[in-house]
Structure 1
Amino acid sequence: MYVCGGVIPELSGRRVRLRAMLPADAQALFGIWSHPAVAPWLDGPPLSSVEDAEALIDLLAEWAVEEESLRWSILGPEDVVIGSCGYNHWQLQGAYRGEIGFELSPAAVRQGFMREALELVLAFGFQSMGLNRMEALCHPDNLRAERLLTGLGFRQEGLLRQYRHTASGYQDVVMYSLLQGDTGAEERTERI
């Protein structure tokens, strides 16, 4: 069974590489996390500076040490940071489930980078962490994320009414899940 212990493993695919977030990623990640096409979908307070992004990277690293979260920077062609993804949280004993989160630079959308990154994350969760259930929470209007999740085999389970509180008020989310034994889940993760 995988135990993080604060070590964030590097995962490599055909066109993307996932590695631990570094302070040097703050500028690129701030540009993504604060972008008007990305920020409305995020579950967190809005960032107003690169220093806010640095503080968030530090916090995520601290949570990885405490085994509460596991987040990677996504590196695309020429090792440029194009987004981030990972486990917002996970629970082993009694549940064996994890919740994924992800965001991508608008300049990198519709090129298959996030799909490849999430295939790596899912394979790692199922094979190395021993998870049985993957979850993703998505704003009902985020159709791009919905298409990505369903394309990866996730199933919509239902609407969680006023599940999050954001700067704009309470927000509904849609729960998606993927089980280790779902048709196609094993084949997708074994290809990685």
Structure 2
Amino acid sequence: MFPILETDRLILRQITDQDAEAIFACFSNDEVTRYYGLENMESIEQAISMIQTFAALYQEKRGIRWGIERRDTKELIGTIGFHALAQKHRRAEIGYEIIPEHWRNGFASEVISKVVSYGFSALGLSRIGAVVFTDNEASNRLLLKMGFQKEGVLRQYMYQNGTPYDTNVYSIVKPRE
């Protein structure tokens, strides 16, 4: 059964085909995809395909992606989750995005905290990594604020619209007991 996580203001839930319009709105937005390493979506079919990819990721135990839903409006405002899940090595990478109208409200901090905690406790992870475009100042600051440590720079690691970009690599590790 797909895990549902909750915070005071948000519900993290499975993304379904009924969310296709919200996923399309998110991933066709230049401000969202600017540092994503993904070209803008051009059709609702691409959103449905992404939703199916998220479902397969979970079914194949290679990751998990939640939809971020506001409790008050029931609006899907973004996604967050783990990919590159390697259970044997107890590690995964975290990724997230929130549509710009909901930026600077503390939502990203809220869901990152919840998902990192879930990763360490429920999934038994000992390391959670993140790869962020060096130019993405907001996300770089956010990860440091959330306790991630910068490990280095991956040169020309991601392409966006045919141009190579450097990325920072971060991690947070589960405290040893």
Same fold (TM over 0.5): yes
Are 2:55 and 1:64 equivalent residues in the alignment?
no
Are 2:117 and 1:123 equivalent residues in the alignment?
yes
Per-residue deviation at 1:172?
1.4
Which structure features the higher share of strand residues?
A: 2
Per-residue deviation at 1:121?
0.6
Whole-angstrom CA distance in 1 between matches of 2:28 and 2:2: 25
- Structure-2 residue corresponding to 1:27: 21
In terms of mean alpha carbon deviation, does 152-161 or 42-51 score higher?
Answer: 42-51
In terms of mean alpha carbon deviation, does 131-140 or 45-54 score higher?
Answer: 45-54
Are 2:75 and 1:80 equivalent residues in the alignment?
yes
The counterpart of 1:136, out of the listed 120, 124, 130, is 130
In terms of mean alpha carbon deviation, does 166-175 or 111-120 score higher?
Answer: 166-175
Compute the RMSD of aligned alpha carbons.
1.5
Determine if contact 1:11/1:17 at 8 Å carries over to the other structure. yes
Whole-angstrom CA distance in 2 between matches of 1:167 and 1:8: 34
Secondary structure of residue in 2 paired with 1:79: coil
Are 2:109 and 1:112 equivalent residues in the alignment?
no
Per-residue deviation at 1:168?
2.3
Secondary structure of residue in 2 paired with 1:136: strand
Determine if contact 1:70/1:89 at 8 Å carries over to the other structure. no
Per-residue deviation at 1:56?
0.6
Gaps of 5+ in 2: none
Deviations 1:87-121 (A, max 9, x none): 0221121x211100000010001101111111111
Whole-angstrom CA distance in 2 between matches of 1:134 and 1:13: 20
- Structure-2 residue corresponding to 1:168: 162
Whole-angstrom CA distance in 2 between matches of 1:165 and 1:142: 14
Whole-angstrom CA distance in 1 between matches of 2:83 and 2:28: 19
- Structure-2 residue corresponding to 1:91: 86
Per-residue deviation at 1:148?
1.2
Per-residue deviation at 1:171?
2.1
In terms of mean alpha carbon deviation, does 113-122 or 164-173 score higher?
Answer: 164-173
Per-residue deviation at 1:159?
0.3
Q: Compute the TM-score of the two structures, normalised by the length of structure 2.
A: 0.94
Letter in 2 for 1:114: A
State the identity %: 32
Q: Compute the TM-score of the two structures, normalised by the length of structure 1.
A: 0.87
